[in-house]
Amino acid sequence: MTITDALTAISVLIAGSALGFSYFTYRSALRASSRPVLVFVMQDLYQWELRNIGNGPATVVKIRDSGVKIEQYQITNCFPISAGAATNLSWLRYGWKLSAQYKDVFGRTFVTNCNNCVNKIERDNGGIWRSTAEEWDQRMGRVKDRLINDMAGKTAWELDIMRNEIFARHGYIFKRNDLSDYFSNQPWYRPNKSFLSYNEMTHEEKYIANVILQYQNKNNLRLM
């Protein structure tokens, strides 16, 4: 091998090392810029929310809600939380000690443990948590309980208003004259001809409307 060949080989090696280092640096920066960081924040006594103060979305979120006794715990599958967003945890059963397991977009797993309002975040290598509940069921169970309490003692007309307000908030134009007159007199009501489909409502809105309707049908409290 000539000196020229040796110098060429060294140059290629140095260029390859620099390229590899640049790629490693790029990947590290990309992961750091996409990392979620979930923290538990107490809003009021035993009223918690889970915030993502990181730079990327938290996926495959599971919350472990523990009580004072070792057998008191529940692991709940939760919705993803985007960067800068938060989710209310009003459905928690115990709230004594809280933990969250979640993944970033690269599949790396993290855990946030909150004890005495102090959050500790770390990488998790302990495996997948086995959930025992779903956030939708937990959240909607609490919503249904509140609805049942709110509906107790109301007249058929009041329940009609309660149910149809969900549609009115979207600007639905009512064919019933009494509902049209009522909502037209509400300062927040804005008729929206483009809102025609039940499918445009959120899952929670559909659930609430159906719970009220079932209550009305069960108790013979429906005007039309």
Q: What is the pLDDT along the chain (224 residues), one digit of tens a residue?
A: 566 655 555 555 555 554 544 544 545 565 678 899 999 998 877 689 999 999 999 998 999 999 888 778 889 888 889 999 998 888 888 888 899 999 998 888 999 999 888 999 988 766 778 877 777 777 777 788 888 899 999 999 999 999 999 999 999 999 999 999 999 999 999 999 888 766 778 878 888 888 899 899 989 988 87
Report the predicted TM-score, pTM, of the whole model to 2 decimal places.
0.56
Please give the structure tokens belonging to residue 153.
């003692």
Type of residue at 123: R
Report the relative pairing of strands 118-123 and 59-66 from DSSP bridges: unpaired
Report the relative pairing of strands 47-52 and 86-88 from DSSP bridges: antiparallel
Beta strands in 53-202 (DSSP E): 59-66, 73-78, 86-88, 97-103, 109-115, 118-123, 133-134
Q: How far apart are CA 175 and CA 143, in angstroms?
A: 29
Type of residue at 31: R
